[in-house]
Amino acid sequence: NVSRPSATSGADELFGGLLAPGFDRRTCLSRYQSPHYYKHSPYAPSPHLLQKLRDYEARHRKCGPGTPLYAKSVDHLRSGSSSSTEDDECNYVVWIPYNGLGNRMLSLLSTFLYALLTGRVLLVQSTDDFTDLFCEPFPGGTWALPPDFPVADMSRLGARSNESYGNLLDDKKISNDLAKATAQSVPPYVYLHLAHDLRRSDRRFYCNDDQLVLAKVNWLLLQNDFYFVPALYDMAEFEGELRRLFPAMESVAHLLGRYLFHPSNSVWGMITRYYHSYLAQAEERIGVQIRMFSWASIPVDDMYDQIMACSRQEHILPDVDGDEANTTSAAANGSSKSKAILIASLRAEYYERIKSTYYEHAAEGGGGVGVFQPSHEEKQTMGQRSHNQKALAEIYLLSFSDVLLTTGISTFGYMSSSLAGLRPTMLMIAKDHKVPETPCVRAMSMEPCFHMTPDVKCHGKEVNKEELSRHVKECEDVPKGMKWI
Ligand code: GDP
């Protein structure tokens, strides 16, 4: 029960039917409580999406680990014999975690959508650092891949693996010529290497005809670190269905993120303790995510100046009294609302500076300003569960903001904005370690950016490119990245 002062009372517990009822509340408190914390829910799920999710849940119950159909498919795989989806009632896509938490959440979400579109069951390889982060999302079954899964040592899979789709094509062990493909027998599993170091032939995953071939494969193992949803719209096989599922194109990650991700009770405890101790009392919460990439680093002073210049330009942080440069924005902003500024960053310096600013100067309009930072881990650490739990807690705390200022290119920031249902203002990234001329931009949509374009020549049926170009734009923060608006 969260009848707390600033959690939205009366919020729809199941997000307008997005979430299925019938879970044991105690096992996953966030599932029922998080709707009270979000400040924006701009898109309701379409009836078609709701139907598709309920169908998916039924499929997962029928085919998931522990069921006779799962055992049968695994037997097939263990025997190593060529098979085809026609022999098996259930087909699977196994997601292999890779890279930081934001990357993982975006690629997992994309893989779930791929499973929805292709009638597969999504299973997740649970590495130690990826456990006790999220609750089970599907009623009556687990998404965790059982440890006795017959493909041994999946962490060895990479661009060079013989079982990768690209290498299978290059070695002529599988054909994407549709005339041959219908008759050919395909391997029991194919590894899809879609991470940033993918090769040219791996990119064929993004072609319509290749999808028709992959549809014959019983088990797909997929590793990537991108939000690849925008490329799914570019395949005739999926485009129409995607439009029916998401009439508002910028709602994909927003709705699927809220459907799929529910912080575990341990992480939810961190989130709610922090929220009620520091943020709940404020009338407005401003989330600020500051990410300094080593390949684009600038001095702390310069970054602080960039944040302040952006804030003045977009009226994000409260202006301070006596700052002449701010008089115009102060007039536009002048209110006496109490505000909480939540800083998420690996470093403490920005928090220290922003906190000092509001200690040394009064905010215009006189409202109280609190500045808070839950952690400063100093550096990104791989493979450590407690580090990932803090990151997840902060992604969620940011997503409960009224206003968001995030860092461009950062998937951590993308995920908070999509969950929040907000188009963030994004800090631009330094080029050649020089402060960018434009400090920040307002995002065109709350959809994350796909950091690469598939850039592959495909054969076969194409989507209407003119229609496509109206909705797909180059990302504000990543040249050559694709984004839906
Ligand atoms: P990206 O690299 O910004 O796209 O985001 P990722 O989430 O994929 O990877 C960055 C990782 O660094 C996170 O998952 C965290 O482990 C860590 N990290 C980066 N920024 C923060 C932060 O503000 N707070 C916390 N707790 N961890 C962070």
Complex ipTM value: 0.99
Residue of minimum CA distance from atom 27 in ligand 1: 391
Per-residue burial over 411-426, b = 16 or more CB atoms within 10 Å of its CB, e = otherwise: bbbbbbbbbbbbbbbb
| SS3 call for 484 | strand
pLDDT computed for residue 175 by the predictor: 87
Q: In the structure, which protein residues have their CB atom closer than 6 angstroms to any atom of ligand 1?
A: 99-103, 291, 344-346, 375, 377, 380, 387-388, 390-391, 394, 410-412
Atom of ligand 1 nearest to the CA of 411: 4
| SS3 call for 27 | helix
User: For domain 265-484, which CATH number applies: 3.40.50.11350, 3.40.1010.10, 3.30.750.24, 3.40.50.300?
Assistant: 3.40.50.11350
pLDDT computed for residue 81 by the predictor: 72
pLDDT computed for residue 176 by the predictor: 83
CB 425 within 8 A of CB 398: no
CB 311 within 8 A of CB 439: no
User: What phi, psi does 216 have (nearest 5°)?
Assistant: -85, -10
**pLDDT, tens digit only, all 485 positions of the chain:** 333 434 454 467 789 899 998 888 999 999 999 999 999 999 999 999 999 999 999 999 999 999 999 999 999 999 987 666 666 789 999 999 999 999 999 999 999 999 999 999 999 998 888 889 999 999 999 999 999 999 988 989 999 999 999 999 999 999 888 766 666 788 999 999 999 999 999 999 999 999 999 999 999 999 999 999 999 999 999 999 999 999 999 999 999 999 999 999 999 999 999 999 999 999 999 999 999 999 999 999 999 999 999 999 999 999 998 654 544 444 445 557 899 999 999 999 999 999 999 999 999 888 899 999 999 998 998 888 899 999 999 999 999 999 999 999 999 999 999 999 999 999 999 999 999 999 999 999 999 999 998 889 898 788 888 888 888 899 999 998 999 88
Domain ranges of the chain: 45-256, 265-484
Report CA torsion sign: 326, 329, 331, 334. Answer: negative
- Distance of CA 460 from the midpoint of ligand 1 (Å): 40
Pocket-testing residue among 271, 381, 412, 426, ligand 1, by greatest number of atoms within 8 A of Cβ: 412
